[in-house]
Amino acid sequence: MLRQIMISISLLIPVWAQSQTIDKEEMIFLTSSWEGERFDDGRPKVPDGILERMKMVTIEEAWGVLRGEGYHNQFEGDWQMIHEDVSVVGRALTALYLPNRPDVSDAIKVRGKEEGRIGNTNSWPIDILSPGDVYVADGFGKIIDGTLIGDNLGNSIFAKSGNGVVFNASSRDLEGLSEIEGFNAFVKGWHPSFLTEVMLGGLNVPIRMGAATVLPGDVVLAKREGVIFVPAHLAEKVVVTSEVIRLRDMFGISRLRAGVYTPGQIDSRWTDEIEKDFSQWLRDHMDELPVPKEQIQELLEKRTW
């Protein structure tokens, strides 16, 4: 009877194997809305082209799309960063850190060593980074003795991913990290201490980042205003919506400067005549606009005038 109870309980608990990761089936279950390519472990692999286009998306545009889809808990503000003008965009590789408990921490380290993990547990997420990944870690907001990386690990992260990090924790070696060209870190603080009394509770698992819920494979959009975590299955919609807004803004400004329309005409709902003018403007400037030509052609095909 006891054995049956234990088996029943085990079925309710995610399988934490292979050094704190969940299995592929659980990953696919949690990200079941994603229908595209996946990494070997099941993590959604949003295409590089979408990531590149996401760099032009504003926080406000992404937030608006997600709110419209019913996602109200994907944004977290109040970050400290190395560079205010360097955005971080990529696929989330997540890590969950917990206050240290010796018996659990020791068991995790033993299992990790048996599976070929090398070094301290805070290096394990770095070891599995792929190009385009963003290392996203919940370090339960710890600042003193909560420094997840310094400049050595920062260089390793950038060499593997070509990207930055987002930590609900702190980092050290700000001066050294600032010398890594193209790298940025969004953290809750800076401190000269070393990481102590922290253990790795989960690797590529769902995590909480302040007010946001983050799943492995979410697209991270980190800019000066804050960080928004876009579910993989909504990434393309966010990008396309942003591009349409960008094109309409460019058209409106160009026509206002030329004196073709009044501010009232552009700032209110456009008439059919303005919409037709917009379509023709897209055709005339297709090769010079900051949106893929294929996307503009698709937009034109959907228009009814």
pLDDT tens digits along 85-132: 999 999 999 999 999 999 999 999 999 999 999 889 999 999 999 999
Strands (E), the chain: 16-17, 21-22, 75-76, 80-81, 88-99, 133-138, 165-168, 170-171, 185-187, 189-190, 198-203, 207-209, 212-214, 219-223, 226-230
What pLDDT, in 10s, does the model give residues 207-251? 999 999 999 999 999 999 999 999 999 999 999 999 998 999 999
State the Cα–Cα distance between residues 231 and 245, nearest whole angstrom.
Answer: 20
Identity at 177, one-letter amino acid code: L
The yes-or-no verdict on residue 4 having pLDDT over 80 is no
Per-residue confidence band for 303, with pLDDT thresholds at 50, 70 and 90: low
Q: What is the pLDDT of residue 202?
A: 96
Residue 152: φ, ψ to 5° = -65, -50
| Of 237, 203, 195, nearest in space to 54 by CA | 237
Give the chain's mean pLDDT.
92
Per-residue confidence band for 171, with pLDDT thresholds at 50, 70 and 90: very high
Q: What is the pLDDT of residue 6?
A: 36
Structure tokens at 255: 């026509």
State the Cα–Cα distance between residues 221 and 21, nearest whole angstrom.
Answer: 24
* Average pLDDT of span 133-143: 98
pTM over 0.85: yes
* Average pLDDT of span 36-48: 97
Task: Break the chain into its structural domains and give their ranges.
Answer: 28-231, 236-302
Per-residue confidence band for 296, with pLDDT thresholds at 50, 70 and 90: confident
Asked: is 28-231 a CATH 3.50.30.40 domain? The reply is yes
Q: Are 66 and 219 in contact (CB under 8 A)?
A: no
* Average pLDDT of span 126-141: 97
> What is the residue whose two structure tokens read 């995590």?
207
Per-residue confidence band for 289, with pLDDT thresholds at 50, 70 and 90: confident
Residue 181: φ, ψ to 5° = -65, 125
The yes-or-no verdict on residue 9 having pLDDT over 70 is no
Q: What is the pLDDT of residue 20?
A: 84
* Average pLDDT of span 261-275: 95
Q: What is the pLDDT of residue 294?
A: 86
What pLDDT, in 10s, does the model give residues 252-266? 999 999 999 999 999
Which range, of 50-54, 157-161, 297-301, averages the lowest pLDDT? Answer: 297-301
